[in-house]
Every structure is written in structure tokens, then in C-alpha cells.
A = this chain, B = another copy of it.
Amino acid sequence: MISPSKKRSKKAGLPPGMPVHIGAKKNASPRITLLDYDPEGVREAEVAPADLAEKIKHASGVKWVNLQGLGDIHMIEQFGACFNLHPLVLEDIFNTEQRSKVEDYGDYLYVVLKTFGYETRGKEERIYSEQISLVLGKDFVLSFLEANGVQFESVRDRLRAGKGQSARLGADFLMYNLIDSVVDTYFSILERLDEKTEALETELVDRPQPSTLQSIQRLKREGVFLRRALWPLREVISSLQRGDSPLFSRNTLLYLRDVYDHTVHIIESIESLRDVTAGMLDIYLSSVSFRISTVMKVLTVITTIFMPLTLITGIYGMNFTYMPGLEWHMGFFIVLTAMAVISIAMLLLFRWKKWL
């Protein structure tokens, strides 16, 4: 849980710059789509790995190559050759346990982002993350996805419709669109956390149990996981939005500033989860203490009422030859009445002391 480095040590000892797939192999059969557009129109095609170089040469305008599935190492290397990517970039695309980061290689920009989802293992629901690698060049954008999801379908739809200005703008604006659509997915994670939090709060007030504590801890850990995964994102978007790279036009920078605002907003929301879970822990722990104090009171009340009564019966159960009262006709009832009076007095005392 603390480190996603499970398979990392198998890489220790290998030369650097050698792409080795670290992370679960989620899909073996990769799929490449090439989409190129200029003011005149949008062309879209699924490309066989072998034809990639050829197709790219003939594409005009802004080129967007999307690869889904990181199973095939040779295909990635082909990409590297086509677009002249540094071996370290290829290595990082494969190693899906990177932090979010942006790296400027002069001709192109390499950006790593993360998406999140929930998967159910046994009874437990667990959060997991996937990696998205983006490469922005002068007139191309490359995107590498781990899963078979439909991550960028909305961006593609907008391009197809020629709407949203995208089609008339450069590769940098497409890049912004991709980043923005990734950041937007974080909002649904936030909503999920919100629902969980509310459910837990209700459980906490109605019927706290040891399993409640474990749920709180799990929620807290999800918050820690997300915070850790999203914290570097802030830096990434901040660096992009500052305009460190000449690949982004002034206009796109304004839009990136907007994404930056969203990012800060998301991170702050996750940060506040920390206070919320801490508060829940306090309530849980004090509710356990409070229950102990309640049970103790009941025990004390019961003991305090019955002990004197039992003592009285003990006294009249002794076998002394000379005991006054034993022969009285009403003796038994007088003692019973006395016991009732004592009980009621005790109960009133406890009520007065607000123990009942």
C-alpha cells in the first residue's frame, strides 16, 4: 500500500534507458489511432503498427497518434524512431509507476498524468491509478494509454464536429484539451469520496462498530493515496501554465491557467478530507469511551441498588436464636416494604444525580 513499487526491484541491475514494462500488463493487444486535421478537415484512421511510419509521413496538419495498451515493447520503440524520442521517454512510457511530471526535451514536451478508478477485489473496493503519457511536438501530439477505456472520446467527438475551436487551433490546444479532459475525470472521484464520507458519517452517528473504524482508515488512506498522486500534478500544470515551453501559444496558456485553477481546487478538496477523517476518528473514539461510561453507570446503579437489599436478606437469614422481629406477624412485610423504599430512594438519588 505504501509503495506501488512491487515489481520495481526486478528492474534493479538493468542498464538505464532500457524500456521494461513495470506495472500490471492490463492489455496485450495495443491499438493505434491516427487523427490528423487542418482547417480543411479531420482525417481519422486505425493504423497497423507496421504502417505507422508511412502513414505519419503522409499526414498533414496537426497529427494526433493515440496508443492504447502498452503490451508491445517494439511498437513503442517504433514510435521512438518515428518521432525521435529519447530512450528515457520510452522507458518512462512503459514504466507506469511514474509520478505526474513534465519534461522538456527541447523539440518536444513529455507529460505524465494519472487517472483513477475503483476496482472490487473480493469484498473490498480499492482505488487504482493508470498512467497517461502525452508528448507534444510542434505539429503532433502522442498519447499513450494503459487501459482500453474511452478516455479521449469526448475530445475526438469535438474534433470530428469541428466544434470548440479545436480544429482551427494548433497541437498545443489539442494537448490542452487532452489534459483538461483528464483533470475533469478527477471530479467524479471527488464525488465518490463525498458519497463515501456521507455514508460513513451516518453510520458513525447511528451505530459505530469496529468495522466503521476500518472504513474511516480506508477512506483516509484513499485520501493520502490521491493526495500523493495529485500533488505533483499541481507542479506540472503550474509549470506548463507559466509558459516555460515555447510550444504553447499565449492563448493556450490562458486555458491552461484555467486547468491549473481546477487542479488546485481538487487538491484542496482532497486535503480537507484529512480534517474530515480526523474528525470522524475523534467521534468514533469518544463514542466508544462514552459507551463505556454508560455501561459503567448501569452496572453501578444495579450494584448499588441490589447490594443493600441482599445484605438485608442476609441479616434476617442468620441463625441467631435471639433476633427481634422474626416472630412478628408483619415482620416479613415490613422488611419487604423497607427494601422497596430503599430501592426507590436509590433510583431517585440516581435520577437527581442525572445518572439515569
Q: Who on chain B is nearest to A198 by CB?
A: B1
Complex-state Cα separation, A237 to B307, whole angstroms: 71
Interchain CB contact under 8 A, B302 and A194: no
Complex-state Cα separation, A98 to B265, whole angstroms: 8
Which of A3-11, A24-32, A72-80, A125-133 interfaces with chain B? A3-11
Interchain CB contact under 8 A, B303 and A221: no
Which of A43-51, A140-148, A185-193 interfaces with chain B? A185-193
Which of A34-42, A54-62, A115-123, A323-331 interfaces with chain B? A323-331
Identical subunits present: 5
Q: Does chain B have a CB within 8 A of A83?
A: no
Q: Which B residues are in CB contact (< 8 Å) with A261?
A: 98-99, 101
Quick one: which of A291-324 are within 8 Å of B by CB? 291-293, 295-300, 302-304, 306-311, 313-324
Interchain CB contact under 8 A, A284 and B286: yes
Q: Does chain B have a CB within 8 A of A33?
A: no
- Contact A158:B15 (CB < 8 A) given known A220-B279, A307-B303: yes
Complex-state Cα separation, A205 to B279, whole angstroms: 21
Closest CB pairs A-B (n = 5): A313-B314, A15-B164, A3-B269, A12-B184, A13-B154
- A sample of 25 cross-chain residue pairs with beta-carbon separation below 8 angstroms, ordered by A number, consists of A3-B191, A3-B266, A4-B269, A5-B265, A8-B190, A8-B191, A9-B184, A9-B187, A11-B187, A12-B185, A13-B154, A14-B154, A15-B158, A15-B165, A15-B177, A97-B265, A105-B254, A205-B214, A228-B268, A288-B289, A289-B289, A296-B296, A302-B307, A315-B336, A319-B326
